[in-house]
């Protein structure tokens, strides 16, 4: 019964919510208002359960004497200080975030700087992830590297002017590389690599002509906007579509009792 009752409640709730969404008629509209109140009440109890779980987890780490127990102690102290301070500010000022509230000072001068510091650390992780992702090891990573470089050059001031020497160095080095590796192959493979190498060398040398350099510098911002408007939007829509279909499939698994991980 401990597993059957939650599955039955989940099934009835899931079918009811779907019916409320697809049948906006009486008495379903009244039931929707009732379920909204249930949702608020259950969310409040879930919040209390989450607080209890958080405090007990870190309290056990302190009792066990784990090496990172100092962070658990700081978390518990900060939680109760913020809670007591907020209740006191509510009693004295009528709300924790009203003008001249001491809790507002705590939020603006302690919480927000700490939050900004945590988000600033993401820059280092993003740089590390970009270094691993932008290594041109295959065709996909090479396309990612080139498109990212074009977008970055097109979005910064004077990006088109900066792109000209960058494109020159890239074309010359790529041309020399393909000419070098063409000697390791024979037949059609060698001819193709030789042609690609000569093509890149020609593109690099053509930048010495002012007309071609001007065209390249004006082309990069427009090409960057095109990448963001069409391929980027298409990829985002495909990802969102996949996430939506996955969410629907997982919801159906939960409603029909196939997925029971939430019971454990």
Q: What is the pLDDT of residue 249?
A: 92
Q: 121 — phi, psi (to 5°)?
A: -65, -20
Rounded CA separation 127/121 (Å): 10
Nearest to 150 by CA among 132, 135, 137, 162: 162
Whole-angstrom CA distances from 236 to 148, 155, 195 are 15, 19, 35
Burial classification of residue 50, based on how many CB atoms lie within 10 Å of its CB (0-12 exposed, 13-18 middle, 19 or more buried):
exposed
Q: Please list the alpha-helical segments (H only) found in 23-138.
A: 28-64, 69-93, 102-106, 112-120, 122-133
Rounded CA separation 215/149 (Å): 18
Q: What is the pLDDT of residue 264?
A: 65
Q: Please list the alpha-helical segments (H only) found in 139-230.
A: 139-155, 159-181, 188-206, 210-229
Query: In which residue ranges of the chain is pLDDT below 70?
Result: 1-2, 136-139, 160, 262, 264
Q: What is the pLDDT of residue 45?
A: 92
Whole-angstrom CA distances from 259 to 4, 25, 52, 108, 253 are 13, 31, 26, 43, 5
Burial classification of residue 154, based on how many CB atoms lie within 10 Å of its CB (0-12 exposed, 13-18 middle, 19 or more buried):
buried
The predicted-structure confidence for 69-91, as pLDDT tens digits, reads as follows 899 999 999 999 999 998 998 88
Nearest to 172 by CA among 195, 203, 143: 203
Rounded CA separation 140/196 (Å): 18
Does the predicted TM-score (pTM) go above 0.85? no
- Classified as helix, coil or strand, 158 is coil
Q: What is the pLDDT of residue 4?
A: 80
Residue 179's contacts (CB-CB under 8 Å, 6 or more residues apart) are 193, 194, 197, 198, 201
The residue ranges of every structural domain in the chain are 4-122, 126-229
Q: What is the pLDDT of residue 47?
A: 92
Rounded CA separation 32/47 (Å): 22
- Residue 109 CB neighbours (<10 A): 10
């Amino acid at each position: 019964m401990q597993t059957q009752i939650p599955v039955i409640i989940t099934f009835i709730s899931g079918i009811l919510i779907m019916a409320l969404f697809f049948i906006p008629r009486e008495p379903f509209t009244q039931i929707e208002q009732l379920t909204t109140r249930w949702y608020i009440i259950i969310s409040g109890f879930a919040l209390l359960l989450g607080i209890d779980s958080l405090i007990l987890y870190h309290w056990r780490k302190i009792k066990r004497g784990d090496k990172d127990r100092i962070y658990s102690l700081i978390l518990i102290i900060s939680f109760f200080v913020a809670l007591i301070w907020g209740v006191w500010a509510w009693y004295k000022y009528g709300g924790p975030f009203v003008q001249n509230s001491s809790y507002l000072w705590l939020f603006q001068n302690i919480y927000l700087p700490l939050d900004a510091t945590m988000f600033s650390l993401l820059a280092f992780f993003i740089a590390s992830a970009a270094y691993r992702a932008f290594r041109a090891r295959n065709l996909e990573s090479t396309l990612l590297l080139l498109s990212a470089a074009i977008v970055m050059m097109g979005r910064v001031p004077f990006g088109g002017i900066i792109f000209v020497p960058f494109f020159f160095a890239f074309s010359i080095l790529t041309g020399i590389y393909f000419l070098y590796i063409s000697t390791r192959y024979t037949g059609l493979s060698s001819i193709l690599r030789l042609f690609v190498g000569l093509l890149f060398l020609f593109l690099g040398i053509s930048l010495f002509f002012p007309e071609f350099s001007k065209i390249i510098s004006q082309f990069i911002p427009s090409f960057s906007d095109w990448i963001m408007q069409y391929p980027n939007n298409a990829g985002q829509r495909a990802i969102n579509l996949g996430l939506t279909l996955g969410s629907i499939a997982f919801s159906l698994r939960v409603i029909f009792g196939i997925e029971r991980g939430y019971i454990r």
